[in-house]
Amino acid sequence: MIIIMSNEINHFIQTLDSEDGVHKNTIISYKYDINQFGNFIKRRKKSFKSIIKKDIIDFLNSLKQKKVKNKTKSRKIFALKRFYKFLISEKIIKNNPIEKIDIPKSEDTLSIILSVNQIEKILKHVSTKNNNYIDLRSNLIIELLYSTGIRVSELISIKTNNIDLIKKTILIDPPEKGKSRKERVVFFGDQTKKVIEKYLEYRKIYFKKKDSPWLFPSNNTNEFLTRRRVLQIMHNLADILKIDKKLMHPHSFRHAFGNHLLNSGADIRVVQKLLGHSSIITTQKYTEHREKLIETIENFHPLNKNNEKIV
């Protein structure tokens, strides 16, 4: 795709970048979607200022012909709606051509959830491959995603000094905070603790010439591992274990964490807190809920109920 990056887009992106709570990935998506539309209208010899509602409908129809899903189309419409709202606010245009364009309904899809047996199969495999740093990293990535229910963005940005092995907690402190990226604490059990301890030993040797604050440092930069690399690790495991790649996604482990706890009899309100769906981590509330959260992980999480099968 040709990158247009007109003055209007540049100004819009700079404004978004300065706003509090707008995540970098959202900005990247907006830029891509608006540029895609910009290329479409450029072929019609039109500009962002001269288009009409029919141009947008034709753009959406072109996406339909390419079998683009409604979820993706909705994202592009959201991006364009925000962009044109910005153009109106800056008095660059007077009329909003996308104002009355409806958001398409998402296709009905079933949540993709890994079963307990599949999780055990994955963990059994990664736990036997633990004699080098790369394999131990894969082991710990799977362990943390499933044992804590954290998001992949939270996983890759864990700092080693935010892990408390005695209390079995991790402070999640994302570099870029936004709507779903808030500081919170997650909990893990004894099995995960053992994997963390062994991984840290190998990490110290592997990165002996590199001082990095991140639990999962990148080999090529001073930053942490990318989400794309985590997905590649999972897809490699999917090939080895003959598991559908659609199931081997970081968010599948988060879904599995919540569902498996609930199916084991955990209190739904506690699971909600463990998933970080509500803000519970202030100093007082942390002390107040800690024992209940730890108890839920230890008593109801399949990883801790089946230690003898997985270790």
Domains in the chain: ranges and CATH:
7-89 (1.10.150), 116-310 (1.10.443.10)
Which range is most confident: 37-51, 88-102, 112-126, 177-191?
37-51
Residue 1 is predicted with a pLDDT of 44
In whole angstroms, what is the distance from residue 99 CA to residue 92 CA? Answer: 16
Which one is catalytic: 277, 285, 292, 309? 277
Instruction: Report the pLDDT averaged over residues 115-119.
Output: 87
pLDDT digits (tens, 9 = 90+) for 10-22: 888 888 877 655 6
Stretch 291-301: mean pLDDT: 62
Rounded to the nearest 10 degrees, how much is the dihedral formed by the CA atoms of 245, 250, 253, 254? -140
Give per-residue pLDDT as tens, 179-193: 455 678 898 888 899
Give the residue among 148, 141, 151, 149 at the shortest CA–CA distance from 180.
151
Neighbouring-strand partners of residue 164 = 169
For the entire predicted model, the pTM comes to 0.60
Q: Which of 73, 184, 254, 260 is catalytic?
A: 254
- Token readout for 226 is 């990318």
- Point out the catalytic residue in the list 286, 289, 290, 305: 286
228 is catalytic: no
The Cα–Cα gap between 229 and 232 comes to 5
Q: Would you call 286 a catalytic residue per the annotation? A: yes
Record the tokens describing residue 126, joined without a space.
């990664």
**Residue 277 is among the residues annotated as catalytic for this protein:** yes
Active site residue 179: yes
Q: What is the model's pLDDT at position 116?
A: 83
DSSP alpha helix (H) spans, the chain: 7-18, 24-42, 53-65, 70-89, 116-128, 133-148, 152-156, 190-206, 227-241, 250-263, 268-274, 283-300, 302-305, 307-310
Among residues 67, 94, 179, 242, which one is catalytic? 179
Q: Retrieve residue 99's tokens.
A: 């104002």
Residues 31, 151, 249, 260: which is the catalytic one? 151
